[in-house]
């Protein structure tokens, strides 16, 4: 096989040479995954759309139509509409956990990636990789959950695919969902839009999903059950957009709140400061994190978003979140600053300030 590979002529760029093989951290949403994207995927597939590096990619409807009509003009209203497109594979282990299962994650995860660009999610595709020996009952219930989740989120599955791999070459079910939606004219929400002075909001308690999955995987029991927060955020995102101006939205999945804030700071070339005490964390999640040696700021969520909004919109957007079922515990946690661009700092409970860094690699593997 080595001869075949050499014929294709890829040479490993220096930043990837420390890891001659793929390790779990390459998929964990931290710096090692970013390295893989930056030094392998992005240069290979280089194009303006992939270069947006958002939760989903915006594609001008006008450019689409022109590609097929050969320059026929579209009307002014349509020319400002963008399509959003995204993809996500789900490999969560176990398949069922308190508060949800892989089917719901697969729908809401992709719906949320579309909503974080201000898009109205419309259609999903669903690709299943099933492992030989999977009980039909498990598949049936996952698909039932996906269908219910689609109804709740208001999307349709427009195309599907099923592959089966031999026992020992999968893990029950892997699901890929890709999604398309439309971004209304005039909506411009993206990771590079944060400006100094903006307020930073989070939509509720963080760390619930990661700890819920870990609790099953590690056989931990807590006094009160910790449930995943998996939920479709498109409805709340629309309500927020109706209430005020939004610069950035991001759902805090792999790498948690810390990864998202760092990505936004880097993309917008601004600093972000937040107050640890203002970030809602359930006491039982805090306790579990202490026991497991985890920082809740790095634990994955599947139904929480971070919003960066102009200061004058902060209160109205917060109110819109708090009146929505998925944003009752929303909070303004910090602000965007001109100082230390690309850096996220937190005011700690004891009054000090610390740098909240990008997670390097593996925190909780296969959390989504």
Binding residues for its own copies restricted to 60-89, rule: CB under 8 A:
64-65, 67-69, 72, 74-75, 77-78, 81, 85-89
What is the C-alpha separation between 212 and 235, in angstroms, rounded? Answer: 24
User: In terms of Cα–Cα distance, which of 319, 102, 91, 95 is closest to 217?
Assistant: 95
User: Strands (DSSP E) along 216-263, which ranges?
Assistant: 248-251
Q: Which is nearer to its own copies, 55 or 198 (CB)?
A: 55
* Contacting range for its own copies; rule: CB under 8 A; set: 179-187, 195-203, 220-228, 291-299: 179-187
User: In terms of Cα–Cα distance, which of 297, 295, 318 is closest to 307?
Assistant: 318
Q: Is 120 in the site for its own copies (CB under 8 A)?
A: yes
User: In terms of Cα–Cα distance, which of 367, 351, 358, 223 is closest to 285?
Assistant: 223
At its nearest, how many Å lie between its own copies and the CB of residue 147? 4
Cis check: omega of the bond before 122, within 30 degrees of 0: no
At its nearest, how many Å lie between its own copies and the CB of residue 66? 10
Q: Which is nearer to its own copies, 79 or 286 (CB)?
A: 79
**First vs last Cα of the chain: how many Å apart?**
32
Q: Is 37 in the site for its own copies (CB under 8 A)?
A: yes
* Contacting range for its own copies; rule: CB under 8 A; set: 126-134, 242-250, 281-289, 345-353: 126-134
- Interface residue with its own copies among 38, 59, 152, 277 (CB under 8 A) is 59
String of contacts with its own copies for each residue 157-176, x by CB under 8 A: xxxxxxxxxx-xxxx--x-x
At its nearest, how many Å lie between its own copies and the CB of residue 34? 10
DSSP state, residue 45: H
At its nearest, how many Å lie between its own copies and the CB of residue 149? 11
Q: Is 15 in the site for its own copies (CB under 8 A)?
A: no
Q: Is 198 helix (H, G, I), strand (E, B) or coil?
A: coil
Q: Which is nearer to its own copies, 156 or 328 (CB)?
A: 156
Question: Edge-to-edge strands of the sheet including 156-165?
Answer: 57-60, 82-90, 173-183, 120-131, 156-165
Q: Which is nearer to its own copies, 100 or 280 (CB)?
A: 100
Q: List phi, psi (to 5°) of 242.
A: -70, -30
String of contacts with its own copies for each residue 193-232, x by CB under 8 A: ----------------------------------------
Q: Which is nearer to its own copies, 140 or 283 (CB)?
A: 140
Q: Is 97 helix (H, G, I), strand (E, B) or coil?
A: strand
Cβ distance 204 to 279 under 8 Å?
no
At its nearest, how many Å lie between its own copies and the CB of residue 16? 6
- Interface residue with its own copies among 8, 349, 350, 355 (CB under 8 A) is 8
Q: Is 247 helix (H, G, I), strand (E, B) or coil?
A: coil
User: In terms of Cα–Cα distance, which of 88, 90, 179, 174 is closest to 139?
Assistant: 174
Q: Which is nearer to its own copies, 30 or 204 (CB)?
A: 30
Q: Which is nearer to its own copies, 33 or 200 (CB)?
A: 33
Which helix (H) or strand (E) element contains residue 165?
strand 156-165
Q: Which is nearer to its own copies, 128 or 274 (CB)?
A: 128
# residues contacting its own copies (CB under 8 A):
102
Q: Which of residues 334-353 bind its own copies (CB under 8 A)?
A: none
- Interface residue with its own copies among 79, 127, 245, 311 (CB under 8 A) is 127
Q: Is 33 in the site for its own copies (CB under 8 A)?
A: yes
* Contacting range for its own copies; rule: CB under 8 A; set: 50-58, 240-248, 283-291, 312-320: 50-58
What is the C-alpha separation between 275 and 335, in angstroms, rounded? Answer: 9
- Written as one string, the DSSP assignment of 298-344 is GS--SS-EEEEE-GGGHHHHHHHHHTSTT-TT-EEEEEEESSSTT-E
* Contacting range for its own copies; rule: CB under 8 A; set: 9-17, 236-244, 264-272, 301-309: 9-17
């Amino acid at each position: 096989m080595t001869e075949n590979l050499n014929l294709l002529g890829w040479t490993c760029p220096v930043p990837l040479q420390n890891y001659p093989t793929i390790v779990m951290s390459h998929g964990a949403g931290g710096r090692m995954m970013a390295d893989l994207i930056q030094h392998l995927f992005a240069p290979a597939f280089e194009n303006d759309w992939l270069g947006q590096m958002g939760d989903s990619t915006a594609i001008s409807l006008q450019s689409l139509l022109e590609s097929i009509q050969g320059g026929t003009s579209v009307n002014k209203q349509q020319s400002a509409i963008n399509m959003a497109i995204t993809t996500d594979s789900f490999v969560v282990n176990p398949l069922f956990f308190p508060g949800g299962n892989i089917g719901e994650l697969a729908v809401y995860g992709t719906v949320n990636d579309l909503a974080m660009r201000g898009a109205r999610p419309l259609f999903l595709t669903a690709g299943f990789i099933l492992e030989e020996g999977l009980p039909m009952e498990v598949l049936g219930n996952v698909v039932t959950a996906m269908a219910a989740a689609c109804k709740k989120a208001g999307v349709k599955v427009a195309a599907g695919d099923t592959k089966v791999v031999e026992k020992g070459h999968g893990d029950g079910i892997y699901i890929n969902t890709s999604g398309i939606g439309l971004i209304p004219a005039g909506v411009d929400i993206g990771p590079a839009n944060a400006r100094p002075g903006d307020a930073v909001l989070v939509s509720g308690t963080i760390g619930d999903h990661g700890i819920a999955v870990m609790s099953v995987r590690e056989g931990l029991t807590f006094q009160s059950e910790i449930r995943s927060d998996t939920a479709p955020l498109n409805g709340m995102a629309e309500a927020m957009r109706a209430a005020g101006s939004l610069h950035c939205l991001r759902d805090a999945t792999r790498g948690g709140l810390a990864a998202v804030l760092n990505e936004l700071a880097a993309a917008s070339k601004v600093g972000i400061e937040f107050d640890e005490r203002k970030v809602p964390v359930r006491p039982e999640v805090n306790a579990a994190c202490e026991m497991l040696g985890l920082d809740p700021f790095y634990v994955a969520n599947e139904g929480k978003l971070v919003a960066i909004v102009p200061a004058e919109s902060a209160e109205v957007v917060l109110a819109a979140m708090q009146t929505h079922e998925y944003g009752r515990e929303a909070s303004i946690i910090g602000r965007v600053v001109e100082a230390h661009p690309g850096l996220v700092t937190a005011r700690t409970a004891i009054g000090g300030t610390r740098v909240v860094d990008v997670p390097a690699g593996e925190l909780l593997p296969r959390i989504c």
